[in-house]
Amino acid sequence: MNSKISVFQFYSILFLTRLLTTLTYIPSYTKEINVSDMIFQTLFRFVFGIIIMLPVFYLQEKYGKETSAQNGIYEKTKAVIFSFVFFYFSVATVARLDLFAGTVVFPETDVKFFLLFVVAFCAYGAFLGLMPIARSAVLSVLPVVLSLVFIVFALVKKIDFLNLSPLFYNGIEPLLKTSLNAVGRTVEYAVIAVFLPFVQGNAKKGFFIWMTVQTFVTAGIFFLEATVLGNFSQMQLFPVFTLASMAEFSFFQGLETIITGVWVLCAFLKISFLLYLQAKLITDAFKVKKTHVLAVLGLLLSAICLFVSGSVERFNLVDTSAIKLILVLVSVPLLSVFEIIKRGVKKCVKQ
C-alpha cells in the first residue's frame, strides 16, 4: 500500500463510517437492555475499544518502521483474513441499507435495482482511489455534524425524563453483552490495524480523539432516543430514523429525510472505503489488477446482497453479532499479538 493520508482525513472517514453503524443500529440486538443502560454502555465500549487496540498500537510503536515482505505467506494470509473481514462488513452494510429501503423508504417496491445501483457506485468510488474518498469524507463531516445538531435542537422540546429507566435494572450482563456487540460492529478497529502504517501524523492521539468524539456522539444519540422515544424505540426497526421523524422545528416537520441523506452519504463512503481496502490488500498481496479485483468484489457483493434481499431471515445470516465480534477479535488483537510474538521470536533468532 503506497497511498498515505493525513490523520484528520483518516479519522474523518472513520467518524462517518462508525456514525453509520450507530444510526442504523437495530434494537432487536439489544432487547434485554434498558434504554438508560444504552447510554451508559458507550463508556464500556470505549474501554473495550482501547483494550483491543492496545496490541495494534504496541506493534506499531515497536515495529512500525520495519517493513516485512509483502509476498510472504503470513502477509498473504493476513491480506486474505482482512479482506474477508472487510467483505463481510460490506455485505452487512449493503444488506442493512436494503432492509431500510425495503421497510421504510419503498416497502412496496422491489429494491434490487437500487442495490445494484449503490454497489456499482461504491465500486466506482473505490476505483477512483483513496484520496477522493478521504477528501469527500472531510468535506462531508461538517454538513453531517450540522445536520445532527439541527435534529438535536428540533428534538429538545420532546425530551421526557420519565422515559428513562434505572441503571443496571437487569444487571450488568446485558450491558456487557451489548458493549461487546458494539465492539464487534466496529469494523473501524480492523481498518486501523491495517491502515495505521499509512497514516501521516500522530495516529495514536487521533485515535483517542476519534474514540472520545464517537463515544460522545453515540451517547448523545442514545440519550435522545431514550428520553424522546422511551420504550417505543425497542419496537422500531430503525429507532434513530423514527427519532428523526419526531423532530419538529418551526415549520419543519419530520426530519427523517435529513437522516436518510446522512445515512446514504456514510454508507457510500463506508462501502467504497471497505472495497478500496479489499482491492488494495489483494492487489498488493497477489499482484493482480485492481480493476479486476474490484469487478469481482462488486459482482460478488451484488450477488450476495441480492440473495439476502429475498427475506429478513437471510439478513440475520449476514448481520450476526457473534460472527462480527469473532472477525474483529481475530483480525485486530489476536493477529497483532501473533505478529508481536512472531517478530519477537525472529529478533531472538537473529541475535
Partner 1 sequence: MRKTVVIIACVLMIASIINRDAFKEDISKRTVVQGVGIDLNDDGTYTVTLETINTENYSNADGTASPVMNIRTLSGKTVYSAIKSAYSIDGKTPLMSQNRVIIIGKSLAEKNIIPALDFFIRDAENYPSVLIAMAETSAEDFFKKSTNDSSVVSRNVERIILTAQEDLTVSSISLCELVNRYKDGASSFYMPIMSVEKVGEKANAVSKGTAIFKNGKLSLTLNEPETVCLNFLCNKAKKGAIDISVNGVPAAVSIIKSQTMRKLDYQSDFPRFNIEIKATADLAELSDKTISSITDKDINKIETNAEIKLKSEIQDFCEKIYKVNKTDPVGLSRLIFIYYPEKYRQQKENLNEIMTQSQYNVEVDIKIRRVGQDYSS
- Nearest CA-CA partner of 82 in 295, 346, 313, 283: 283
User: What single-letter DSSP state applies at residue 29?
Assistant: G
Which residue's CB is nearer to partner 1, number 106 or number 153? 106
CB of 241 to partner 1, least distance (A): 8
Which residue's CB is nearer to partner 1, number 98 or number 339? 98
Cβ(269)–Cβ(259) below 8 Å = no
CB of 296 to partner 1, least distance (A): 21
Angle between helices 73-100 and 256-286 (to 10 degrees): 160
CB of 187 to partner 1, least distance (A): 20
CA angle 186, 190, 195 (to 5 degrees): 130
Tell me phi and psi for residue 226, to 5 degrees: -70, -45
| Ramachandran region, residue 236 (left: φ > 0; alpha: ψ -120 to 50; beta: rest) | beta
Cβ(275)–Cβ(89) below 8 Å = no
Query: Residue 311 and residue 288: Cα distance in Å, rounded?
Result: 35
CB of 324 to partner 1, least distance (A): 25
Which residue's CB is nearer to partner 1, number 110 or number 303? 110
Beta-bridged to residue 200, according to DSSP, are: 6
Which residue's CB is nearer to partner 1, number 199 or number 246? 246
Which residue's CB is nearer to partner 1, number 67 or number 107? 107
CB of 239 to partner 1, least distance (A): 10
User: What single-letter DSSP state applies at residue 3?
Assistant: -
Query: Residue 351 and residue 345: Cα distance in Å, rounded?
Result: 10
Which residue's CB is nearer to partner 1, number 72 or number 261? 261
| Ramachandran region, residue 56 (left: φ > 0; alpha: ψ -120 to 50; beta: rest) | alpha
CB of 209 to partner 1, least distance (A): 24
CB of 302 to partner 1, least distance (A): 16
Cβ(29)–Cβ(156) below 8 Å = no
| Ramachandran region, residue 159 (left: φ > 0; alpha: ψ -120 to 50; beta: rest) | beta
Which residue's CB is nearer to partner 1, number 261 or number 344? 261
List interacting residues with partner 1 (CB under 8 A): 101, 103-109, 114, 117-118, 121, 124-125, 128-129, 131-133, 135-136, 139-140, 160, 162-166, 169, 229-232, 235-237, 242, 245-246, 248, 254, 256-257, 260-261, 264-265, 268-269, 272
Which residue's CB is nearer to partner 1, number 117 or number 286? 117
CB of 260 to partner 1, least distance (A): 6
